[in-house]
Structure 1
Amino acid sequence: MSHACPVQNCSSQVASHLYMCPRHWRMVPKPLQTAVYESYQKDGRVSVNHREAVRVVEAAEAGRSAIKLPPGTRALTIYQPWASLIMIGAKPYEFRRWDFSLLPALAKLVGQRIVIHASVRRPSLDELNDILDRIEQGESALKADLAEPLVRQMSAAVGAKVADLHMAPLGVALGTAVIGQPRRVVDIFKGAVADSDRLDEHMFGWPLASIEPFPQPVPAAGAQGFWSWS
């Protein structure tokens, strides 16, 4: 037994024990996936959670259709506030513990435009305050004049337990950037510079330039590493 994927214009047939085709299901944020599972286990029927999952996917598909990017464009999921800091030009490097250009399949990304996607992970107040402390102490790779206002605004919102972090939204694609040749951090900075508390990951800086924000954030589930946007 099978049924059609409930997402509009999707012709995929889905096994009876699944709700959506695999491609669209991967676009549903993990918390909503869990809610879909739990409501079906409880009631044995399609619920408001199922309908919300379809709405989220269709909104994401509509957003992707409106943005013309070449086939094969890759995306990179980044925690907030880092993703939004990239989009405002305050974070010129993404720091990781590996050099992606050493992998033949990824080396071709150097000089290419990638999608910057914000993770669904909500930053803690301690994390945000640590960023502000590092900026004040001159130990940050961020552009302080651009970064500090956004981080302070976000810190206030998180401290007040505001649900909607509109200044740095979660679980959405924010825009694109051109990714450059990774460089060792010791070759980039003369002093000890770190813009998060995960110092062991500050081995390579991935340059991000020519930032182009989307007109509106596009809902997307994201994934680890580089993943296929189109």
Structure 2
Amino acid sequence: MRCLTIRQPWATLVALGEKNYETRSWRTTYRGELAIHAGLKIDKAACRREPFQSILAKHGYTEENLPTGVIIATGKLKECHEITGLNSVAQWIGENERAIGDYTEGRFAWELENVRPLVHHVPAKGRLGFWEYPLSEEEEHF
């Protein structure tokens, strides 16, 4: 399965359905199934800022209990939007989404859909960019 490593707390926000766009500096033509991997690093300063802190707390998370080094969700990469200015994205993102993503002009907003958190996280070593996770027969339920 194709995977994407995302730093915490952003990975958990995606898994919880609180973040529907992952912003990146690069465009992708890939569309389809995607596993979300929580990287090993946690941006603790972000976890202490609003709206991050309130959103995480609503789901029982703090910087201390965020999962790391595991695949935490699956979903689909639906579309990749080029950001041409904040006005270009204001029509399709909400206030919280704008506050927890980097919508700087020239970046790309990857639209995610049907994201479902995994009941059992899958340990995996993340990588930059897309990477493949080989599914065993037991993990076909992803």
TM-score category by the smaller chain? 0.7 to 0.9
The yes-or-no answer on 1:207 pairing with 2:105 is no
Higher RCO structure (Cα 8 Å, ≥6 apart): 2
Instruction: Structure 2 unaligned segments of length 5 or more: list them.
Output: 135-142
The yes-or-no answer on 1:150 pairing with 2:56 is yes
Contact 1:81 1:151 in 2 (8 A): no
The yes-or-no answer on 1:75 pairing with 2:3 is yes
Alignment RMSD (CA, Å) = 2.7
Q: Distance in 1 between matches of 2:8 and 2:106?
A: 17
Counterpart position of 2:89: 188
Instruction: State the AA in 2 paired with 1:206.
Output: W
Q: Which of the two has greater strand per residue? A: 2
Q: Distance in 2 between matches of 1:201 and 1:214?
A: 33
Counterpart position of 2:73: 175
Instruction: State the AA in 2 paired with 1:148.
Output: S
Instruction: State the AA in 2 paired with 1:128.
Output: C
Contact 2:79 2:112 in 1 (8 A): no
- Aligned-pair CA distance for 1:202: 6.9
Contact 1:95 1:201 in 2 (8 A): no
Counterpart position of 1:129: 48
Secondary structure at 1:121's aligned position in 2? strand
Q: Distance in 1 between matches of 2:112 and 2:99?
A: 17
The list of structure 1 runs, each at least 4 consecutive aligned residues, that deviate by more than 3 angstroms after superposition, is: 151-154, 190-194, 198-202
Q: Distance in 1 between matches of 2:28 and 2:124?
A: 23
Could you tell me the TM-score, scaled by structure 2's length? 0.74
Q: Which of the two has greater helix per residue? A: 1
Aligned length: 126
Contact 2:9 2:46 in 1 (8 A): no
The percentage of counterpart residues that share the same residue type is: 29
Secondary structure at 2:114's aligned position in 1? strand
The yes-or-no answer on 1:96 pairing with 2:24 is yes
Structure 1 residues 174, 99: closer, same or farther in 2, change over 3 A?
A: same
Secondary structure at 1:148's aligned position in 2? helix
Could you tell me the TM-score, scaled by structure 1's length? 0.48
Contact 2:78 2:111 in 1 (8 A): yes
Q: Distance in 2 between matches of 1:223 and 1:214?
A: 20
Contact 2:7 2:38 in 1 (8 A): yes
